[in-house]
Amino acid sequence: GGYNLVEAITLKVLWPKLDLNERLLRGVCVVGGLVCTVGFLGVGAVYTQADYLNICCTDKYNHTEDAFRRVYHLDNSTETGYIQQLLALESFGPFVLVDSAKGLALSLKKLEFWLEEFAGVFVLSSHFIIWWFGKPLERLLPSI
């Protein structure tokens, strides 16, 4: 988001001095990056409220001790079980994923992921376009 703001201000200032192709490409990158960033934030906000919005099948987490007790039948009644429980807590933290998202919730997670990825692609493309149209490039490429 911050890069798009700075690039938009830069384009506003340099607009009359830039080549038509550079203006077009950099403008597409700014708009595309902004759309993807806002979309990423919006979809993420919807996903965080998915349970309240009755959107089915979000990720389900349990306490690590409960999950390992249920799945691996580990308990801390023996020394070995206690050590295994400590190792599980150290390795995985206080919560573990026991059921991943499905249906619409999974689609929202995928959409959120791809919007973030495309926002990054637009920023990288913008950097490449600035480099490509930059004046120092003329010195690096021999004339034919």
Do 92 and 64 meet the contact criterion of CB atoms below 8 Å apart? yes
Average of per-residue pLDDT values in the chain: 90
pLDDT of residue 7: 94
Exposure pattern of 69-104 as b/e (b: 16+ CB <10 Å)?
A: beeeebeeeeeebeebbeebeeeeeeebeeeebeeb
pLDDT of residue 32: 97
Q: What is the pLDDT of residues 38-90, one digit of tens each?
A: 999 999 999 999 999 999 999 999 998 888 888 777 777 788 888 888 888 89
Q: pTM higher than 0.85 for the full model?
A: no
pLDDT of residue 138: 60
**Per-residue pLDDT averaged across 109-133, rounded?**
96
For residue 76 the two structure tokens come to 């801390």
CA 63 remoteness from chain centre: 26
